[in-house]
Structure 1
C-alpha cells in the first residue's frame, strides 16, 4: 500500500480508538447521530484478527464523517482537522471501496467444496478487473469506486481529484504486481490439468502430464460415469475412481485436496466463539467442535432409539 493510503488507514484507526475506547465518547456520538438522523449510531472497532472487518470499519467512518467531525470539534480534538482535508476524505472513501472489493474476493474463496481450479479462475478474473480499472483511471473515470467518485463530485475539487487519481493508479499497479508475484500465469494449474475439471471433454494428448493417457480416454468414453460426474461434486467423483482408475485418481486428488483457503480454520473459530460463552467457560470443546464441524450426517434418532427414556416420577 502507498504511504499516503497507509497513513489514512492508521489515522482512521486512531480516530475510531479515540471514540470507542471511551464509554462516554461512544454514548455522546450515539446521541449526536440520533439528533442528526444518521443511518448509523456508532463506529465499528478495527481488529487485525477479523480480516473482514477493515472494510466495514472504514465504510462506517466515511458514512459518519460529518457526525464524527462535529463530535471531534466539540471535544476540541486535533483529530478533527483530517475531515477538513478533502484529499484525506477522498482517500478514505477509496480505501473503503477497494477493501470492499477485496472482501468480496476473499468471501468467494470460502466454502466446503472449494477447489484450487475455481479459485484460480476467480483470481484471474480479479486481475483482469485491476487492468480494466487502471485503464479507466487513466481516462479520468473512477466510477467503479462509488464512494470515492461520489465524494469527489460533491467536493468539486479538480486538484484533489487529480491527486487522488494518481494515488489510486499507483496502488492498483502495486496490487497487480503483488498478484502477479503470488499467482503467476505460468503456474496456472489448469494448463495441463483441465482434464480433472472436465474429464469428458476431448483434450489434446500433449495437454496431459501423464505419459500414458489411455486410461483417461477409456474413462471419457463411459457414459455412465459421465452421468455420475454431472450429478456429483468434482472431488467426490475422483474419490470414487480410486479402484477403477487408480492412476487418474492419484493425480486428480493431489490437486483437489490442496488446502487453498482458511475456510476450515474460520469455521472452527466461529463455532468456538458460539459454543464457549461466559456461562460455559468450563466446557470441553473437542467433542462439541467435532459434532459441529463434521461432514458426516448424524443419525441422532438411531442413537436415541437404543436408550431407555427417563420415566416421570
Structure 2
C-alpha cells in the first residue's frame, strides 16, 4: 500500500463523487468523466491545476497543511475523511521495518472483559484480528469457532476476514452490506495510518483476491471512524438480535479496540442475550462436570 498511490486514488475517487451542482460550479457542456474536473477542484481549493495534478499523480510530497486543508474543504470531507487525507498526504517518517511480532491483549484488558459476564465483549487488534473475547462475546459473534482460537496467532480469527469469507459470519448479519461497508471503511482508516504495515497489506491483498465484494468496496475508498451504532443479527441459537455497540480505545498506541454489545433494557434483544448467556453457562457447567469425572 504505497502512500502516494493511495493519496492519488483517494483524491480521484472523491473528486469523481462530487457533481458541479454540489459545490456551486457551473456545468458547461458534456462531461467525458464523472464528477469534477481537476481544474475545477483546484480552483475551489485555491491552488494551481498543475500543483493539484502533481498531488493526484503522487509527484508532490511536501504539501502544506493549509493546502491539504483547502483540498479537504473543496472535497466536502467529513472529520474522519479529512484525517485520512492528512495521513496520506503527510505520512510520518519511514521507520526501520522490524520483524513481525504477534500482538497480544493486555492482561488488564483481559481481566476487564472476563469480569463482564453479561456483556458480550471482543478485543480487536489494529488489523481487526481477535486478541481475546469473553464467553458471551465468543458465543455471540463466533460460536462456531474454538473459544481458545485468539490465543494462537496462527489460528487467530480476523473479524473482517470472517465477515467476507466465512459463511457462518455472513449469515449472522441481517444487514450484511451495511456491516461490510462499515468494516471496509474502518480498515481504510487504519491503512492510512499504517502505510508500512505488511501484515495489513497482506490481509487487504487476500480479501481483494478472494472477495469481489471486498474489492469493489475497497476501491471506493470509504473512510469512517466507527465508534458506535447498531448491529442487526440473526443468531443461530436465539434468533433476531438488535444490539447497540460501542468501541472503546485504550489511551496507548497499541491500536487495540474493545468492542462491547448491549441491548436496550426490556427489549427482545436483552431477553435473547440472557438466553444466550444461560445456554453458555449450562454448557460450561457440563464441561466442568465432565472434567471432574475424568
Does TM, normalized by the shorter one, top 0.5? no
Flag the structure with larger Rg.
1
Give the TM-score of the pair, scaled to structure 2: 0.22
Greater strand content? 2
Give the TM-score of the pair, scaled to structure 1: 0.21
Q: Which has the higher contact order (CA 8 A, sep 6+)?
A: 2
Greater helix content? 1
